[in-house]
Structure 1
Amino acid sequence: MQMIRYFIAYSIVMTAVVVASNILVQYPVDAMFAGINLADLLTYGAFTYPIAFLVTDLTNRQFGPSIARRVVFVGFLVGVTLSFATSSPRIAIASGTAYLAGQLLDVSVFNRLRQLSWWKAPLLGSVFGSILDTVIFFSLSFAPAFVMLGANDDFAIEWAPILGVFATEAPRWMSWALGDFAVKMIVGLVMLLPYGALMNSLKPMPSSQAA
Structure 2
Amino acid sequence: MIKNILNDKPTKLFMVFACFFVANALIAECIGGKLFSLEKLFGLPVHTFTLFGESGLAYTLTAGVLLWPLEFVMTDIVNEYFGPKAVRRISYIAVALISYAFIMFFVAMKVPADSWWRGSKAEGGIPDMQTAFSGIFGQGMWIILGSLTAFLVSQIVDVTVFHRIKRHTGEKHVWLRATGSTIVSQLVDSFIVLYIAFKLGNNWSYQRVLAICMVNYSYKFVVAIALTPLIYWLEHRIERYLGHATAAKMKAAAMGKEHPYEEPVTND
Q: What TM-score comes out, normalization by structure 2 length?
A: 0.63
Structure 2 unaligned regions, length at least 5: 49-55, 106-136, 240-246, 258-268
Q: Please point out which of 132, 138, 145 is paired with 2:188.
A: 132
Corresponding pairs, count: 190
Measured against aligned partners, the alpha-carbon deviations of 1:147-189 in whole angstroms (never above 9, x if no partner) come to 3xxxx49xxx6x9xxxxxxxxxx54x55432221111111111
> Which is higher, the Rg of structure 1 or of structure 2?
2
After superposition, residues 38-49 of structure 1 pair within 5 angstroms as 40-43=58-61, 44-49=63-68
> Residue 209 of structure 1 is aligned with which of 255, 258, 262?
255
More deviation, 106-115/173-182: 173-182
Matched-pair contact (CA < 8 Å) for 1:73–1:100: yes
1:47–1:183 Cα contact (<8 Å) kept = no
Q: Does 1:181 align with 2:220?
A: no
How far the C-alpha of 1:209 sits from its partner, in A, is 1.1
Q: Secondary structure at the match of 1:29?
A: strand
Tell whether the 8 Å contact from 1:106 to 1:129 is kept in structure 2 after alignment: yes
Aligned structure 1 segments of 4 or more residues deviating by more than 6 angstroms? none
Q: Which letter maps to 2:92?
A: F
Higher RCO, 1 or 2 (CA under 8 Å, sep at least 6)?
A: 1
Structure 2 residue 85 is the aligned partner of structure 1 residue 66? yes
Rounded Cα–Cα distance in structure 1 between residues aligned with 2:156 and 2:226: 21
| Other-structure match for 2:98 | 79
Preserved contact between residue 142 and residue 196 of structure 2 (Cα < 8 Å): yes
Query: What do the CA deviations read for 1:18-49 (whole angstroms, capped 9, x no partner)?
Result: 22322333322146543426984332222221
Q: 5 Å matches for 1:149-160?
A: 152=202
Among candidates 154, 160, 183, match of residue 102 of structure 1: 154
SS in 1 for 2:36: coil
Does the 8 Å contact 1:63/1:208 carry over to 2?
Answer: yes
Q: Specify the code of the residue in structure 1 equivalent to 2:149.
A: T
Residue identity matched to 1:41: Y
1:110 to 1:122, Cα distance in 2 relative to 1, 3 A: same
Identity %: 17
Give unmatched runs, 5+ long, in structure 1: 160-169
8 Å contact kept, 2:36–2:60: yes
SS of the residue 1:193 aligns to: helix
CA gap of 1:176–1:16, structure 2 versus 1, over 3 A, is farther
1:10/1:55 contact within 8 Å kept? yes
User: In the alignment, residue 230 of structure 2 is paired with which amino acid?
Assistant: P
Measure, in 2, the Cα distance between the counterparts of 1:49 and 1:42: 16
SS at 1:202 equivalent? helix
Contact 2:24 2:71 in 1 (8 A): yes
- Letter matched to residue 137 of structure 1: V
Once superposed, what is the RMSD of the aligned Cα atoms? 2.6
Mapped to 2, the partners of 1:3 and 1:79 lie a distance apart of 26
